[in-house]
Amino acid sequence: MGEKKSAVRICVKQVTKTFAKKAVLQNLSFTVQPGEIFIIMGPSGTGKSVLLKLLSGLDQPTSGEIYINDLPLKQVKKSNRYVLGLVFQAGALFNSLSIFDNLALYFRERQICKEAEIEKRITHVLNLLGLQGIEKQMPSSLSGGMKKRVALARGLLMEPDVLLFDEPTSELDLLTASSIIELIGYVNRHLGITTVVSSHDILLAKTIGHHIGVLQNGTMDTIYTPETLFQSNNAFIKNFLNPRVNLEHPQFPSFLV
């Protein structure tokens, strides 16, 4: 990797996002400090992926603004100096290309550097993520956990200012999930890139989150640390972290029972 860049601060200010008059995010404000891991939690459908899309600039708020180091995100994006590492679901790899060619695509398309330099960078990142030797393999030959790590490798190769992860541990067994959590923590400690993760994963929030916001009714009332989150007396938070399974009175629609 090249020279280490200084980490950026993200400020979300009074952001509202509305779809067909329904506000998914409502007057939401929070700050992600430079170099930290910020976790967006919340039940399914509360707007985590919508918020990540806004942070990536792939979609715009209906009102309000997102700032990167005090400059509006849309302005920063236009400057072309702001690089975003998006690590979405594993499916984002091209199945007809080898792992090496998948990873080299970003450099080749932009003609950023020579083949020898591309090779050096790819080898370096694969080593960092414990994936050495898989360059010639095809995506179909990798497990779900390995694909997620390759997606992370691709994000890192772009030398991003911000890393965004949408549900990095979903669909994985607990052991593989914990290795992904370790990797995100490791990469953050070593490279200090400002990182935002959307996740339901309580283990992830507990172990690598510096700050945690829980989306409810389109907003985050409190920004927690892992300690304050797990000590919270808020009924919604307590139920979200430790839900009851009620077999006697399940919440089925009446036509099913």
Ligand X SMILES: Nc1ncnc2c1ncn2[C@@H]1O[C@H](COP(=O)(O)OP(=O)(O)OP(=O)(O)O)[C@@H](O)[C@H]1O
User: Given the rule CB under 6 A, which residues bind ligand X?
Assistant: 19, 24, 42, 44-50
CB under 5 A: which stretch of 7-15, 16-24, 44-52, 127-135 binds Mg ion? 44-52
Specify the 3-state DSSP secondary structure of 29.
strand
Q: Reduced to 3 DSSP states, what percent helix, strand and coil does the chain have, rounded to the nearest 5?
A: 40, 20, 40
Nearer to Mg ion, 170 or 234 (CB): 170
Interacting residue with Mg ion among 49, 62, 123, 207 (CB under 5 A): 49
Which partner, ligand X, Mg ion, none, binds residue 219 by CB below 5 to 8 Å per kind?
none
Question: Which one of Mg ion, ligand X, none interacts with residue 19, CB within 5 to 8 A by kind?
Answer: ligand X
Nearer to Mg ion, 85 or 126 (CB): 85
- The CA R_g of the chain, rounded to the nearest whole Å, is 19
Binding flag, residue 178, Mg ion (CB under 5 A) = no
CA dihedral 230, 234, 239, 242 (to 10 degrees): 20
- In 3D space, the residue among 214, 193, 177, 241 whose CA is nearest the CA of residue 39 turns out to be 214
By a kind-dependent CB cut-off of 5 to 8 A, residue 50 interacts, out of Mg ion, ligand X, none, with ligand X
Residue 201 CB, nearest approach to ligand X (Å): 11
Measured from the CB atom, is 17 or 48 closer to Mg ion?
48
Q: Least separation, in Å, of the C-beta of 87 and ligand X?
A: 15
How many residues touch Mg ion (CB under 5 A)?
A: 2
In terms of C-beta density within 10 A (0-12 exposed, 13-18 middle, 19 or more buried), how is residue 77 classed? middle
Q: Which is nearer to Mg ion, 76 or 151 (CB)?
A: 151
Exposure string of 157-171, with b = 16+ CB inside 10 Å and e = fewer, is: bbbbbbbbbbbbbee
* Nearer Cβ to ligand X (88/100): 88
59 touches 53 (CB < 8 A): yes
Buried b (16+ CB within 10 A) or exposed e, 94-108: eeeebbbebbbbebe
| Contact footprint for Mg ion (CB under 5 A) | 48-49
